Chain A
Amino acid sequence: GENVEQHPSTLSVQEGDSAVIKCTYSDSASNYFPWYKQELGKGPQLIIDIRSNVGEKKDQRIAVTLNKTAKHFSLHITETQPEDSAVYFCAASYNFNKFYFGSGTKLNVKP
């Protein structure tokens, strides 16, 4: 099956700085890559996703890049704010059936 690795496990940045979280996947058939944000005591919430026919996608302060050849994808958050502090998960899926998640990155944005 698919194996998704996520780094770093914790990330601390100063407010206003950028944050980058990286994931690699093992199954070249995976074609959908969502990113989720999980706040304490809540379920994960989708923040951005990308399909394998696209190399980059941006939504305001967040962006995701995908390198199919190297089988890795990254989440970029610019101008970080304290409310961005949460745990972020990447995931990979083939045709939206099984989803495989990374182990999570705890982001701490210091005011």
Chain B
Amino acid sequence: NAGVTQTPKFQVLKTGQSMTLQCAQDMNHNSMYWYRQDPGMGLRLIYYSASEGTTDKGEVPNGYNVSRLNKREFSLRLESAAPSQTSVYFCASSERGVGGGNEQFFGPGTRLTVL
């Protein structure tokens, strides 16, 4: 049981290049999320997927696209990277619990630098 996995762990891009961040979970969760974490700003939601086949914008969606490939996988794409997208990106998954909570399980993160 690996939980939430993300690839790659580190990436350096030049301005204008594109790339896809991969995320997979093996906990059979319905909901998946993409966040970015910048110093002093906490985590900000980019996109989320409440269930397979659905995606919705979060707080900071501009410059990103997502694909919920199947129940396990949720990818984040940067079509034309900009220096402002330099950040640490976290994927998370969750399922509503019996007690009414909703524990999000986070992956280890992808550290992206855009030059």
Question: Which A residues are closer than 8 A to B by beta carbons?
Answer: 1, 4, 6, 9, 32, 34, 41-46, 49, 51, 89, 91, 93, 96-104
- Contacts A101-B35, A101-B42, A104-B42 aside, 15 further interface pairs with beta carbons under 8 A come to A1-B59, A6-B42, A9-B40, A34-B103, A43-B90, A44-B43, A44-B106, A45-B106, A46-B104, A96-B31, A97-B48, A97-B50, A98-B58, A99-B33, A103-B40
Separation in Å of the B57 CB from the closest CB of chain A? 9
Confirm or deny: B45 has a beta carbon within 8 angstroms of a beta carbon on chain A.
yes
Q: Mark B86-115, 1 if CB is under 8 A from A, else 0.
A: 000010101010001111101111000000
Query: For residue B96, which residues in chain A have a CB less than 8 angstroms away from its CB?
Result: 96
Give chain A residues whose Cβ lies under 8 Å from the Cβ of B100.
51
> Is A34's CB under 8 angstroms from B43's CB?
no
Chain B residues whose CB sits within 8 angstroms of the CB of A42 once the complex forms:
108-109
9 contacts between A and B (CB under 8 A): A1-B59, A9-B40, A42-B108, A43-B90, A43-B106, A43-B108, A44-B104, A46-B104, A99-B45
Question: Does the CB pair A99–B104 fall under 8 Å?
Answer: yes
